[in-house]
Chain A
Amino acid sequence: MVALIGASGSGKSTLIRHIAGLILSDKGSGKIEVLGTAIQSNGVLAKGVRSHRREIGVVFQQFNLVGRLSVLTNVLMGVLGQAPSWRTWFGIFTREENQRAMKALARVGIASHAIQRSSNLSGGQQQRAAIARTIVQGAKVLLADEPIASLDPASSRKVMDNLAHVNREDGVTVIVSLHQVDYAIKYCPRTVAMREGEIVFDGPSEQLTPEFLQQIYGADSLELFSPEEQRRKAAGENAKPTPERDATDELALAYAAR
């Protein structure tokens, strides 16, 4: 499980959407391969990219479920790339496919909501349904684009736990972009850090000390901690205004407080 960190606008989503073949690169800017098959090269989608997309599950920040369809139908979308089209065009899914979808929903803990409209679920539950969709898809690589950026801390933890399970139990490579370093340290052994579209760090997550982040991101590093951390830090500042302490010390304090 690899974390992709960086401040907003540093190119995390762009990278993920390029890997999934959802947007095209500029002409003459190289090639993207996943699991040995080309996705796109020189700004042109590879042939048969639709069947390769099957192997790449994508989880989006805004969940990207179809709100008016049931949770179960949304999860069944995972089989569209595998089942014969003449059948799925009419919305016919076999018992076995329905069972796979229900099992996936049970794994992420929302099987009881299967027949509700997905728009009636909370954000965290919708994101877990989106993860269930990639489980049904049988993806070998899971790209998660800011999966917890619009969720509360409790839901964020559940979503990250789900991703970690998929990674550990199914042996799926999970690449998750985050802008909160604490989640990266907690869940991912390896982190890739980006700044302005460039990779500035690639290594074990333990190395991501506040001092190190300050070094690569400068003042932007403040953005990389979760809101609670920032609040705690701000509260500390107000209580004891010590002008000689600099930003790095503040981060070190916040880090220690974890």
Chain B
Amino acid sequence: MTTVTHRNSDIKIPSRGLKRSITSLAGWAVFFILLGWSWEGADMRPMALIDGAANMGKFASGFFPPDFTEWKMYVSEIIVTFKIALWGTALSILFAIPFGILSSENIVPWWVCQPVRRLMDTFRAINEMVFAMLFVVAVGLGPFAGVLALWIHTTGILAKLFSEAVESIDPRPIEGIRATGANALHEVIFGVIPQVLPLWISYSLYRFESNVRSATVLGIVGAGGVGMLLWEYIRGFYYAETAAVMILIIVSVSLLDLLSQRLRKMVT
């Protein structure tokens, strides 16, 4: 008989519960309050976009046509940028391997893992631009300061990514190696590394990609590469040249992204 009554009256949709709807409403309320509170601090002036439209048009037109007359110098600076990124990444991979393993919960006891993790957090928390400014003071202006800045920051990031890969390995092969009377380092070399290597390579390539992008701005604080050039042009109001440099950066970074994507697909 129930089927007949259903045909005439609507079936009640089960309620989601008052508590759940209140929590979700409260969540949204907090979000909008935060946005409103930050309005002033962030100096939000949408009208400035409209008022300054004419100015911006004039500014933008200064970029055209881009001036490529000095292209050889731009390309050589971009190559320097690549070199900075390459060395910065290579050094950080070298250091991220031991630090990554030492911050993996399933390999080392907590009293090793926790301090190493905090150290890596510190490396990661401070932006490479800040490190670059510090190293410019320490080792002088130029690409080497950029390499050191990338090295510290990327070591923190890669160690974290490497240890996440190590923590998700299959423990059984390691047990197999342990049962032969091998020592702890053997377990890592033959049991852990073969399992994580494809992921590690993929992460490293990705970080190289990101480091090339970061290296293009390191020059602004005097740490070498194409960023130095860019900064000088912008400060000197050479907008046509600035546009040319930016176009070359976009082209080379996109090419690198494509290449590294291919390589990463090959290893995993």
Binding site for B on A (CB under 8 A): 20, 22, 50-58, 60, 62-69, 73, 77-78, 80-82, 85, 88-89, 91, 130, 133-134, 137
Known: A22-B175, A66-B195. 19 other contacts (CB 8 A): A20-B179, A22-B178, A50-B181, A51-B181, A53-B180, A57-B179, A64-B172, A64-B175, A66-B177, A68-B197, A77-B177, A80-B177, A80-B186, A80-B190, A81-B180, A81-B182, A85-B185, A88-B186, A89-B186
Judge whether B194 and A66 touch: CB under 8 Å: yes
CB distance from A32 to the nearest CB of B (A): 15
State in angstroms the CA–CA spacing of A257 and B203 once bound together: 59
Judge whether B173 is part of the interface by a CB distance below 8 angstroms: yes
Judge whether B119 is part of the interface by a CB distance below 8 angstroms: no
Judge whether B56 is part of the interface by a CB distance below 8 angstroms: no
Judge whether B194 and A68 touch: CB under 8 Å: yes
Interface size on B, residues (CB 8 A): 19
Judge whether B176 is part of the interface by a CB distance below 8 angstroms: yes
- B177: chain A residues within 8 A (beta carbon): 66, 77, 80
Judge whether B176 and A54 touch: CB under 8 Å: no
What would 13 A/B residue contacts be, using CB atoms closer than 8 Å?
A55-B181, A57-B179, A60-B175, A64-B176, A64-B179, A77-B176, A77-B180, A77-B190, A80-B186, A81-B182, A88-B186, A133-B180, A137-B180
State in angstroms the CA–CA spacing of A258 and B186 once bound together: 46
Judge whether B181 and A137 touch: CB under 8 Å: yes
State in angstroms the CA–CA spacing of A168 and B173 once bound together: 28
Judge whether A53 and B181 touch: CB under 8 Å: yes
Judge whether A68 and B195 touch: CB under 8 Å: yes
State in angstroms the CA–CA spacing of A199 and B19 once bound together: 55
Of B178, B181, B186, chain A has the most CB atoms within 10 Å of the CB of B181
CB distance from A94 to the nearest CB of B (A): 16
Judge whether B189 and A67 touch: CB under 8 Å: no
CB distance from A65 to the nearest CB of B (A): 6
Judge whether B189 and A91 touch: CB under 8 Å: yes
Judge whether A58 and B179 touch: CB under 8 Å: yes
- B178: chain A residues within 8 A (beta carbon): 22, 53
Judge whether B183 is part of the interface by a CB distance below 8 angstroms: yes
- B190: chain A residues within 8 A (beta carbon): 66, 69, 73, 77, 80, 91
- B182: chain A residues within 8 A (beta carbon): 50, 77, 80-81
Judge whether B219 is part of the interface by a CB distance below 8 angstroms: no
Judge whether A53 and B179 touch: CB under 8 Å: yes
Judge whether B224 is part of the interface by a CB distance below 8 angstroms: no
Judge whether B176 and A130 touch: CB under 8 Å: yes
- A58: chain B residues within 8 A (beta carbon): 176, 179
Nearest A residue to B196 via CB reads A68
- A51: chain B residues within 8 A (beta carbon): 181
State in angstroms the CA–CA spacing of A78 and B176 once bound together: 10
State in angstroms the CA–CA spacing of A60 and B182 once bound together: 17
Judge whether A66 and B181 touch: CB under 8 Å: no
Judge whether B227 is part of the interface by a CB distance below 8 angstroms: no
Judge whether B191 is part of the interface by a CB distance below 8 angstroms: yes
State in angstroms the CA–CA spacing of A22 and B180 once bound together: 11
State in angstroms the CA–CA spacing of A110 and B172 once bound together: 22
Residues 97-132 of chain B, each 1 if its beta carbon lies under 8 Å from chain A, else 0:
000000000000000000000000000000000000
State in angstroms the CA–CA spacing of A133 and B182 once bound together: 12
State in angstroms the CA–CA spacing of A56 and B181 once bound together: 8
Q: Would you list the 4 A-B pairs with minimal beta carbon distance, nearest first? A: A81-B181, A64-B176, A54-B181, A80-B182
Known: A66-B191, A137-B181. A85 touches B176 (CB 8 A): no
State in angstroms the CA–CA spacing of A63 and B172 once bound together: 8
CB distance from A258 to the nearest CB of B (A): 34
CB distance from A231 to the nearest CB of B (A): 30
Nearest A residue to B172 via CB reads A64
Known: A68-B195, A85-B186. A80 touches B180 (CB 8 A): yes
Q: Pick the contact of A56 from B179, B183, B186 — CB < 8 Å?
A: B179
CB distance from B200 to the nearest CB of A (A): 12
